[in-house]
Amino acid sequence: MSAIYRRELRSYFCGMTGVIFIAFLLLMTGIYMTVYNLNGGYPNFEYALSGVIFIFLIAVPVLTMRSLAEEKHARTDQLLYALPVSLTEVVMAKYLAMVTVYAVPIGVMCFYPLILSLYGTVTLGSAYGSILAFFLLGCALIAICMFVSSLTESQVIAAVISVAVLLLTYLMSGIAGLIPSTAGASLAGFLVITVLIGLIVNVMTKNTPVAIGVTVLLALAVTVLYFVNSTMFEGLLPDLLTGLALFDRFQSFINGIFDVTAIVYYITVIALFVYLTVQSLEKKRWS
């Protein structure tokens, strides 16, 4: 595992990707910090972080797009499959290498609150809490985008899908707000989701009867549930969608709250997507 980790890290720094990623992140946080903290005079570094958060939409896909897509493209994945290393180790090594690259600008950012504290009173607790949450948010997004990269052979496609997925999670709370919170609307939404699940099952298994069966079963279950307990459906879909809004969880840290549920949430997302990536590679062997 350490061999793959070292190789990955080396390739990030021998190529441009790692350097550009770090420079871009530092440049943007630098600008925001200058505007908010130095020019604006706010002692809270977390405001700068909250402003800069959108750059994940561009920076993370750049970092992750080649991680697994390029292996497949260059056929080097065959080497990884043939080496006496488990796929979990391969994925972990790759993930940790990306997290290491990402940790560099975070490490630099850790000095900013200290610099600010030279010129006034800074609540270091909330600043470092925010930096931790910022780090975990980034790690969660890296895990998601790594999974996307494992689905395709093309770096470009991986990057485009990653941006789309991140944009969706970024705008998720806004989208959830657009959906009426009545029970009927939730039911309609779930039926649409059921059809989507059916389509995905159809694409993945190439077995139309099974897909139709799954769709009908799910639709029936949802409808029955709706008639049994329709109050449960009130506002359910918007709530669920808000649950997918990774970026919003960061807000409470900016307001000075150390939200443990958000930390657990990010770690869960990381674990889930690392696991899904391993499964995606495993599936590649079975196709």
Partner 1 sequence: MIEVKNLVKKYGDFEAVRDVSFTVEKGKIYGFLGPNGAGKSTTMNIITGCLAATSGQVTINGYDIYEDPIEAKACIGYLPELPPLYTDMTPEEYLEFVGRAKGLKGEKLYRAVDLVIDKTALQDVKNRLIKNLSKGYKQRVGIAQAILGDPEVIILDEPTVGLDPLQIIEIRELIKELGKEHTVILSSHILAEISAVCDHVIIISHGKIVASETLENLTTLYEGKSYIDMEVRGDGETAEKLALSVPGVAEAEWEPLEAGVHMRLTMDGRKDVREDIFFRFAERRMPIVAMNYEEVTLEKVFLELTGDTKNASGSGDTLLSTEEIFGISTAAETADPAAEETAAEKTEAVPAGDTTEHDNGTDGEYKPLFGGK
Residues within the interface to partner 1 (CB under 8 A): 2-4, 6-7, 10-11, 14-15, 74-79, 81-86, 206, 285-287
CB of 282 to partner 1, least distance (A): 9
Answer whether 253's CB lies under 8 Å from 130's CB.
Answer: yes
CB of 146 to partner 1, least distance (A): 18
Smaller CB separation from partner 1, 155 or 194: 155
Residue partners of 106: CB distance under 8 A and separation at least 6: 131, 134, 135, 138
Smaller CB separation from partner 1, 14 or 232: 14
CB of 158 to partner 1, least distance (A): 18
Smaller CB separation from partner 1, 87 or 146: 87
Smaller CB separation from partner 1, 261 or 287: 287
Smaller CB separation from partner 1, 20 or 219: 20
Q: Which two tokens stand for residue 283?
A: 């599936």
Answer whether 31's CB lies under 8 Å from 20's CB.
Answer: no
What is the CA 3 to chain-centroid distance, rounded? 26
Dihedral over Cα of 74, 78, 83, 86: its sign: positive
Smaller CB separation from partner 1, 208 or 229: 208
CB of 53 to partner 1, least distance (A): 32
Q: Which two tokens stand for residue 163?
A: 């941006």
Alpha carbon distance 250, 187 (integer Å): 30
CB of 1 to partner 1, least distance (A): 8
Smaller CB separation from partner 1, 74 or 115: 74
Answer whether 77's CB lies under 8 Å from 69's CB.
Answer: no
Answer whether 161's CB lies under 8 Å from 152's CB.
Answer: yes
Q: What is the largest CA-CA distance in the chain?
A: 69
CB of 13 to partner 1, least distance (A): 11
Smaller CB separation from partner 1, 78 or 255: 78
CB of 90 to partner 1, least distance (A): 9
CB of 138 to partner 1, least distance (A): 25
